[in-house]
């Protein structure tokens, strides 16, 4: 089993990556491979809302190649997806949002590519806005019908300078517990798959509130 973790921080070796690494270390102890992929330092544009991915149905974004499609491909092949972001103005980093908007739009328009994968999110923050950002990331997981493990508190760790998050003992514990719970849920899904088929995916219905 494999988990793909996305570092949404432009600081590749900062506290967001450290949070992801703590979770990844716990996954590794449980026999689950984890790979961290950089997103926050990439040059990505946001979704153009063109609907091309829905028309083509090829699991790809139609915008000029900037690495998003390669990342979608590894997400599609993974058993679990882990999202990590710093807090910028009480929300996720702009590049991370651009990436997630495009990746999850493609996934939903192509038969629910991430449906029933195990998904989780973590946040690194200096002071405040961590829970708001955690909530933002969780919207993508819930919308995609992903299976979300919990921890013993919200998945937020505190720190400013690189590796300062190590001083947040509770935050470090939160990440460790999340890693173990994520591994356990991945194993439950794997064990149950042969005998318990997933519920049939319903065709999406859209309701307009403007009459």
How many independent structural domains does the chain possess? 1
1 class by beta-carbon count within 10 Å (0-12 exposed, 13-18 middle, 19+ buried): middle
Q: Which CATH number belongs to the domain containing residue 132 in this structure?
A: 3.40.50.360
Consecutive 10-residue runs of the chain (211 residues): their mean pLDDT? Answer: 98 95 98 98 96 97 96 98 98 98 98 97 97 98 98 97 94 98 98 93 90 74
- Give the model confidence (pLDDT) of 149-198 as tens digits: 999 999 999 999 988 999 999 999 999 999 999 999 999 999 999 999 99
Which residues span the domain enclosing 19? 2-192
Q: Tell me the pairing of strands 80-86 and 33-38.
A: unpaired
Distance, in Å, from the CA atom of 135 to the CA atom of 9, rounded to the nearest integer, reads: 17
Whether residue 27 is contained in a domain is answered as yes
């Amino acid at each position: 089993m494999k988990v793909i973790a996305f570092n949404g921080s432009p600081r590749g070796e900062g506290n967001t990556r450290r949070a992801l690494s703590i979770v990844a270390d716990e996954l590794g102890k449980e026999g689950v491979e984890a790979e961290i992929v950089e997103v926050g330092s990439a040059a990505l544009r946001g979704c153009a809302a063109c609907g091309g991915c829905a028309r083509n149905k090829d699991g790809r974004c139609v915008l000029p190649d900037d690495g998003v499609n390669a990342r979608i491909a590894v997400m599609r092949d993974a058993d679990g997806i882990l999202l990590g972001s710093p807090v910028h103005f009480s929300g996720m980093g702009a590049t991370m949002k651009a990436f997630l908007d495009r990746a999850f739009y493609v996934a939903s328009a192509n038969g629910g590519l991430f449906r029933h994968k195990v998904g989780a999110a973590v946040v690194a923050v200096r002071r405040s806005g961590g829970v708001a950002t955690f909530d933002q990331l969780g919207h993508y997981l819930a919308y995609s019908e992903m299976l979300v493990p919990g921890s013993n508190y919200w998945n937020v760790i505190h720190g400013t300078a690189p590796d300062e998050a190590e001083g947040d003992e509770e935050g470090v514990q939160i990440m460790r517990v999340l890693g173990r719970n994520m591994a356990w849920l991945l194993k439950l899904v794997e064990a149950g798959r042969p005998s318990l088929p997933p519920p049939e995916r319903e065709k999406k219905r859209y309701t307009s509130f403007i009459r």
